Structure 1
Amino acid sequence: MLHEFGQNFIHNLFTPLLLFFYFGFLIPILRVPFEFPRVVYQALTMYLLLAIGWQGGEELAQISPADLGHIVGFVVVGFVLNFVIGIIAYLLLKPVTAIRLIDKATIAGYYGSDSAGTFATCVGVLTSLGIAFDAYMPIMLAVMEIPGCLVALYLVARLRVRGLDTAGNMPGEPEYAPLETVKVGPGTAARSELVHHTAGTTLREALLNPGVCLLIGAVIVGFVSGLQGQKVIHDYNTFFVTAFQGVLSVFLLEMGMAASRKLKDLKSAGYGFVVFALVVPNLFAVLGILVARAYSVVTHTNFQPGTYVLFAVLCAAASYIAVPAVQRMAIPEASPTLPLAASLGLTFTYNVTIGISLYIEIARAIGPYSP
């Protein structure tokens, strides 16, 4: 069994998709003077979100209405689980690194979300290996992206109550500057209204960010098109399905370059921070597989083998698109580099190179049947 595990694991590490990522990771190290055009990166991201949503919607059209209750229940479980994961990440960060509490809170938000890039890579690996997964997993991707934004807002709101200063420092941290006592007066209502307005705007940004909108919109289009039959969707599948692996390869080339360049931002965080970013994906992935297995047993839902792997990836991944956008607006005091160094430089790199292959083998061992 261990021999088979090792063979499968090594084989999965050298799929063409991951070889493109390794190639991209080496470009900055070798100091090759190449910059990936940002507009191309945005176009690749948009395509991947639309393609994932289209394929999910197309398959969703084939699902029996009788299964919708179990699907909705699993989506709710995924949302709650990622919120809990964000809180756990915050508690684990507190003893392992000396960075500021506000930065620990925002980093926890990153880990309470998910990663479309990691999800797309996992879809590509599963497809290349012929491992099936349930059609509604793109919906899980959209829903499980939101808890991280809420985790960061919740944790930072608690820090503000405890005396967070305007620069993002807490009492006892270096360079802390105590806030002046605010007297109750005519301006208090206006300040309260401003706080509520900011919170409302931030929640809207979290729920209606461009990535989620593109993904959900593509699911709806794919679903409606899938209801009309194979004749309608055939030509579109040439673009959204056949070209998916090639576009994903180019995307991973760019992500490898970005991840490699982010590693330099880890110097100030310490070794504990690095260990955290490399170890917790495994803990959260196993937690995700166990929760999915428990849900399957309790509700008598028969998940496809790849569903366990994708759910593990959604739990193990950290955001580098949605949460950073929300953080810039709602938590400007936090460091913009440390969370990305962890989520993109370490966790994304680990997940797409080692993690996905490992989660496949863990799902084989824990799941009710082998892919």
Structure 2
Amino acid sequence: MDILALATGNLLQPAVLFFVLGMLAGFAKSDLSIPEGVVKTMALYLMLCIGFKGGVEAAKAGLTPDFLVSALTALILSFGLPVVAFGILSLFPKLDRSTRAATAAHYGSVSAVTFAAASEYLRGQGVPYAAYMAAIVAVMETPAIVSGLMLAGRGGNREQRAPMGEVLREVLLNGTVVLLLGAFVIGAITGDRGLAKIDVFVNPLFQGILCLFLLEMGLVAVRRLMSANKLTPGMVVFGIAMPLISMSAALGLCALLGVPHGNWAMMAILAASASYIAVPAAMSLALPRADAGVYLPLSLGVTFPFNIIVGIPLYLWIAQRLA
């Protein structure tokens, strides 16, 4: 499929257009806002739907070699990409080691909202992918955080920080991870009969809630970017280049390990995304000296908009050409 057609199809999605509307409202300094409690409820709803529907479909497929090789690929990417990001960030001497490590961890972990937007886009384009990719999202959360902490701890000065066990507890009990994995398990247990009972809740409402949530994300992304006074042009370039590097690594690993071709696009999208929920929570606890004024605007203000508007159709086009 032509890249221009894919890009047009993505830009004309209601969810993406609402995201752009949020960005425009943010740039115009509109007083448009969604109450924090509503935003959290919408995020929980999206995770429930993604996990539950993924569990239902994964139960039909069973624990296959394809799932295992996809999970292995995800683990390698999540643990390895922070090392690559940390090496690139070393080119910015003004960033201390803790900030480089914390930022690198964001780029090995994943954005579940990017996954939600990509799911709707791929479905609209008629591009199938395995339902167990919802579980892969959860698989990719934790290894990146462990990798980032190891990078922060290597070398001379080890800063005072929370014990690893406390950090992992924070990560594994993070609301996003708990609900995503829990809903996946419940979906796998109840199957189609369970889906039939809550179908009205998890299917017809999903697209509308996603649009409203991305409207808020557009507002937040712009406000983070406008308030970021520590991002240099070079760091902004990193926020765009790193997803491209991660996407290339994901596709190369998919080819090397034999990941099913249908999963290549989604694996590339997940690798290219950057966490802005689970990892910031873990880094604020584990590396309190790391500068949140760098890693949050980068992941949420630069990488997230790039992926939502440009990246998803680009990664799909490249994956289709290679696969």
TM (normalized to structure 2)? 0.94
Instruction: Find out whether 1:211 has 2:173 as its counterpart.
Output: no
Q: Which stretches of structure 1, 4 residues or longer, exceed 3 Å deviation after superposition?
A: none
Q: Quote how far apart the aligned CAs of 1:122 are.
A: 0.6
In 2, distance between residues paired with 1:98 and 1:199?
27
Q: Which amino acid aligns with 2:239?
A: A
In 1, distance between residues paired with 2:3 and 2:158?
49
Q: Which amino acid aligns with 1:340?
A: L
Q: 1:62 to 1:90 in 2, by over 3 A?
A: same
In 2, distance between residues paired with 1:57 and 1:10?
31
Q: Quote how far apart the aligned CAs of 1:61 are.
A: 1.4
Root-mean-square deviation (CA, aligned residues, Å) is 1.8
Residue equivalent to 1:125: 121
In 2, distance between residues paired with 1:318 and 1:224?
30
Residue equivalent to 2:5: 7
Instruction: Find out whether 1:295 has 2:293 as its counterpart.
Output: no
Q: Quote how far apart the aligned CAs of 1:267 are.
A: 3.2
Residue equivalent to 1:55: 53
Q: Is the partner of 1:242 in helix, strand or coil?
A: coil
Q: Which amino acid aligns with 2:115?
A: F
In 2, distance between residues paired with 1:336 and 1:231?
45
Q: Which amino acid aligns with 1:216?
A: L
Q: Which amino acid aligns with 1:348?
A: F
- How many residue pairs align between the two structures? 323
Match of 1:333 among 276, 282, 289: 289
Instruction: Find out whether 1:264 has 2:260 as its counterpart.
Output: no
1:189-268 superposed matches below 5 A: 198-226=163-191, 230-268=192-230
Deviations, residues 75-134 of structure 1 (Å, cap 9, x unaligned): 122112221101000001111463222211110011111111111111111122222110
- Structure 2: which 5+ runs fail to align? none
Instruction: Find out whether 1:157 has 2:153 as its counterpart.
Output: yes
Q: Which amino acid aligns with 2:135?
A: I
The 10-residue stretch of structure 1 (73-82 or 133-142) with the greater mean CA deviation from structure 2: 73-82
Q: Which amino acid aligns with 1:24?
A: G
Instruction: Find out whether 1:280 has 2:242 as its counterpart.
Output: yes
Alignment check: 8 A CA contact 2:16 2:309 kept: yes
TM (normalized to structure 1)? 0.83
Q: Report sequence identity in percent.
A: 33
Alignment check: 8 A CA contact 1:114 1:317 kept: yes
Alignment check: 8 A CA contact 2:82 2:147 kept: yes
In 1, distance between residues paired with 2:194 and 2:304?
36
Match of 2:22 among 21, 24, 45: 24
In 1, distance between residues paired with 2:97 and 2:166?
24
Q: 1:293 to 1:53 in 2, by over 3 A?
A: same
Larger radius of gyration: 1
- Structure 1: which 5+ runs fail to align? 167-194
